[in-house]
Chain A
Amino acid sequence: MGETVIEKIIRNNVGHAVKPGDIVTVNVDRVMIHDIFIPFVAEKFEEMGFQKLWDPDKVVLIYDHLVPASQLDDTRHFHTGDAFAEKYGMKNVHRSDGICHQLMTEAGYVKPGNIVFGTDSHTTTYGCVGAFSSGIGYTEMASILGTGTMWIKVPETIKVVIDGELPENVMSKDVILRLIGDLGADGATYRALEFTGSAVKNMSVASRMTIANMAIEAGAKCALFTPDEKTAEYCEIELNDFQKSLVGDEDATYLKTVTYRAENLVPVLACPSQVDKIRDVSALEGTEIDQVFIGSCTNGRLEDLAAAAEVLKGKKVADYVKLIVTPASRKIYRQAIELGILDTLAEAGAMITHPGCGLCCGRAGGILTDGERVVATNNRNFLGRMGTSKVEIYLASPKTAAACAVAGKIVSPK
């Protein structure tokens, strides 16, 4: 019988065919731990009685939520992390290189067909290169560090087909927001999302990353894209037969299939305070805003910054409106320097911060207060995520966000 992509990845890992609902133990290819959770992982790991890591090279530790430190206790997380890495012989430590999910793919830690877990819900991101990746808590992470394995329930798959060509002002962010709106914030809970169609094939790996990143906002366990020549180029590898085989079979069983015509999609916003509260940008035009944030593991990549710079070139951010730009990684920051993107953004009046989670994780980087409204390119608009519970957060694409920054209010990108 035919298999979905997730079924193929799990079969390859466990050595036998699986079907949704099966509970299997997988061998983990790579794990990621970030700064907020490392003290808890370290504590649980030792409490569990492990003496060594199952494979130090497969563990990646990334400081991003707390960089730069903004509270007195933040640096304790770095010291705990450094001590843990030294004690157990970990070499893969990134102390200020950018957001964990960006680095995991960008630095080559994740390859197509891998099974990867991270102590962060947006670990679904690595599906952009055809890896099965998912977020877990620190207790499970501690147990993987010791055993290299984890039990999972094979998820059912929802197939998402997007055919055609996206309009100029529509980005992959608009696609995933629309999908979350249609599925609902719990519409894919426990399920895998599998993306296919000509619009998906035409997307850059970066655009796919945006979609995979936000799959969790529909509750999904993971999101999967079939590895292709773009994936190979991005990962700097030649795809092997297994990786090439990661296509959903014709006769595979899907829970359901959702189909979109790319031409019909328009710029959208997720309105306060639910990720699935999706409205067309055109329906909200004129709403005044106080701040715009362009960044995060969802939309802080080079193509996002370039799209924003194109909108902002020769223009100024509206008076009294703040534009905060946080590139997703050190590499992206440097590429954006080279292409003149950062200068264009700075000239327009943007504050360009060091790569990291920044405002998205709500600990610094542009926190707001009662009655303020922000248009942001990140992944969550939950109550209180960026300040008080009376802050309104609208999620948008970088193009929409940049257009809003110039106008000082919600407007559609041209």
Chain B
Amino acid sequence: MGMTIAEKIIAAAAGVESVKPGDIHTVQLDRLMSNDGTTHLTVDMYNNKLKNPHIADTKKLVFIVDHNVPSDCPKTAASQKKMRDFAKANNIDFWEGKGVCHQVMIENYVRPGELIFGADSHTCSYGALGAFGTGVGCTDFLYGMVTGTSWVLVPESVKFNLTGELPEGVTARDLILTIIGEVGANGCNYQVMEFTGEGAKTLSISDRMTLCNMAVEAGAKTGIFEADEKAMKYLKEHGREPKAVFHSDQDAKYVREYRFDLSKVRPVVARPDFVDNVVPAEETCGIEINEAFLGSCNNGRIEDLRVGAEIIKGKKVSDKVRFLVVPASQTIYRQALKEGLIDIFMEAGAIVMNPNCSVCWGSCQGVIGENEVLISTGTRNFKGRAGHPSSKVYLGSAATVTASAIAGKIALPSEI
């Protein structure tokens, strides 16, 4: 019987001919990523709970400090030091301040066909390159680190058949918010969201990252695209070869299928406090904001910065708004420097921060205070996610966020 891309990756990792949803398999992991959100806990468990602590293959491990960078308090510094010391002692690839973990992984490690565990829910981003990435907790991570393996329950796949092309001024961000609004925040629980069709081919790698990254916001185990010529070109540019390129079979089984015509997608905003609370952006226009955030693993790439810079060039950030611009990686920051984008943002009065998770993570620089309102290109708008429990987060595209920063209230670029 036919298999989907996700099933083929798991079958290969399990060393079996075929798998089907519901099977449980022991798999060889290609890579394990952990960031400063939880690595110190993993290290504590490794040091204190194991009889015979060892690492199966240090080359498969990547540690990335991105959540609180630079460190904001002694407690953060202590947990990062634990992580750094462990990486140094065990010769683990270690990145600090070089970008949001998922962006760093896609720029430097992820290959089509790989099965990757990350101790972060947005590890599902790696499907943009045809890899199976998924988020796990510390215990699962530790097991993978020690044994090089893990178990997986083969998930069902949901097909998202995309047609047409996104209209001018509408981005992949609007598309994924629209999708989540339609399927619901748990609409794809424990399933794979496979994005396919002619419309999928039109999307850039950056767009695909935006889509896969938020798969978890629909409850999915991962989101995935077939690694096509665009993915191969990206890999080549980054000096890597695929592990394996899988295609879903004609007779592969999907538990559901959705069709989205990209040409019909319009700018949308997810209102507080749920990602699936999605409405046309117009319905939120006029809501006063205190902060706007352009960044994160979801929307902090060069393409997103270009969108923002084009809108804000020659204009000023409202006096009432703190506009945080946070490139998702150092590579993106340098590219943006080169293209003059950083200067455009600085001239406009934005706060340009070093690559890090910033207010998307909510416990480091850029936090919002009591009753404040944020419009964000981040991944989540849960209650209190960006700071004070009474604060509110709206999610929008780079275009909407930038236009709002200028207007001082939620606005569309056409109003600026």
Name B324's closest neighbour in chain A (CB-CB): A68
A74–B349 CA distance with the chains assembled, in angstroms? 20
State the interface size on chain A (CB cutoff 8 A). 50
A/B pair count, beta carbons within 8 Å:
138
Question: Contact check: which of B70, B96, B387 meets A353 at CB < 8 Å?
Answer: B70
Question: Cβ of A343: which chain B residues have Cβ within 8 Å of it?
Answer: 334, 337-338
Please report which residues of chain B, range 274-333, place their CB below 8 angstroms from some CB of chain A when the two chains form the complex.
290, 319-320, 322, 324, 330, 333
Q: B347 touching A95 by the CB < 8 A rule?
A: no
Minimal beta-carbon separation of B196 from chain A (angstroms): 38
Q: B74 touching A369 by the CB < 8 A rule?
A: yes
**Listed stretches B130-138, B178-186, B359-367; interface member:** B359-367
Q: A71 touching B367 by the CB < 8 A rule?
A: yes
A320–B244 CA distance with the chains assembled, in angstroms? 33
Q: A76 touching B354 by the CB < 8 A rule?
A: no
Question: Cβ of A365: which chain B residues have Cβ within 8 Å of it?
Answer: 70, 72, 365
**B363-384 Cβ-contact flags toward A at 8 Å (1 or 0):** 0111111101000000000000
Name B290's closest neighbour in chain A (CB-CB): A75
A216–B296 CA distance with the chains assembled, in angstroms? 41
User: Do A70 and B367 form a contact, CB below 8 Å, given A330-B346, A337-B342, A346-B333?
Assistant: yes
Question: Cβ of A97: which chain B residues have Cβ within 8 Å of it?
Answer: 349
Interface residue? A351 (CB, 8 A): yes
**Listed stretches B75-83, B113-121, B166-174; interface member:** B75-83
User: Do A367 and B337 form a contact, CB below 8 Å, given A72-B369, A96-B349?
Assistant: no
A10–B333 CA distance with the chains assembled, in angstroms? 49
Interface residue? A8 (CB, 8 A): no
Q: A364 touching B74 by the CB < 8 A rule?
A: no
A358–B69 CA distance with the chains assembled, in angstroms? 12
**A interface vs B, CB < 8 Å?**
67-76, 78-79, 82, 93, 95-97, 290, 319-320, 322, 324, 330, 333-334, 337-338, 342-343, 346-347, 349, 351-354, 358-359, 363-372, 387-388
User: Interface size for chain B: under 10, 10 to 19, 20 to 34, or 35 or more residues?
Assistant: 35 or more
**B interface vs A, CB < 8 Å?**
69-74, 76-78, 81, 84, 87-88, 94, 96-98, 290, 319-320, 322, 324, 330, 333-334, 337-338, 342-343, 346-347, 349-355, 358, 364-370, 372, 387-388
A-B contact pairs, 16 of them (CB 8 A): A68-B351, A70-B364, A72-B367, A72-B369, A75-B290, A78-B322, A322-B96, A324-B97, A330-B349, A343-B337, A351-B69, A358-B70, A366-B71, A367-B74, A369-B81, A372-B81
Q: B365 touching A69 by the CB < 8 A rule?
A: yes
Minimal beta-carbon separation of B303 from chain A (angstroms): 20
Question: Cβ of B353: which chain A residues have Cβ within 8 Å of it?
Answer: 68, 353-354
